[in-house]
Amino acid sequence: MTADDRGESLLELLIAVAIMGIAVVAIVGGIGVGVAMSDVHRKQATAGTAARDFGEAVVTKVMAGGYVLCASPASYATPPGYSAPTGFTSSVASVRYWASGAWASSCGTDSGLQQVTVRVASTDGRASEQLVVVVRRGCGLKDALC
Tens digit of each residue's pLDDT (9 = 90 or more) over 52-109? 999 999 999 999 888 999 999 999 999 999 999 999 999 999 999 998 888 999 888 8
For position 110, what pLDDT does the model report? 83
Q: How confident is the model at residue 116 (pLDDT cuts 50, 70, 90)?
A: very high
d(CA 5, CA 91): 76
pLDDT at 127 over 70: yes
Least confident interval from 7-16, 34-43, 88-97: 7-16
For position 140, what pLDDT does the model report? 63
Helix (DSSP H) and strand (DSSP E) numbers for the chain: 1, 4
For position 8, what pLDDT does the model report? 74
For position 121, what pLDDT does the model report? 96
Q: How confident is the model at residue 10 (pLDDT cuts 50, 70, 90)?
A: confident
d(CA 88, CA 132): 18
Q: How confident is the model at residue 9 (pLDDT cuts 50, 70, 90)?
A: confident
Q: Rounded to an integer, what is the distance from CA 38 to the centroid of its chain?
A: 15
**Residue type at position 104:** A
**Residue type at position 8:** E
pLDDT at 28 over 80: yes
Q: How confident is the model at residue 51 (pLDDT cuts 50, 70, 90)?
A: very high
Query: Chain-wide mean pLDDT for the chain?
Result: 89
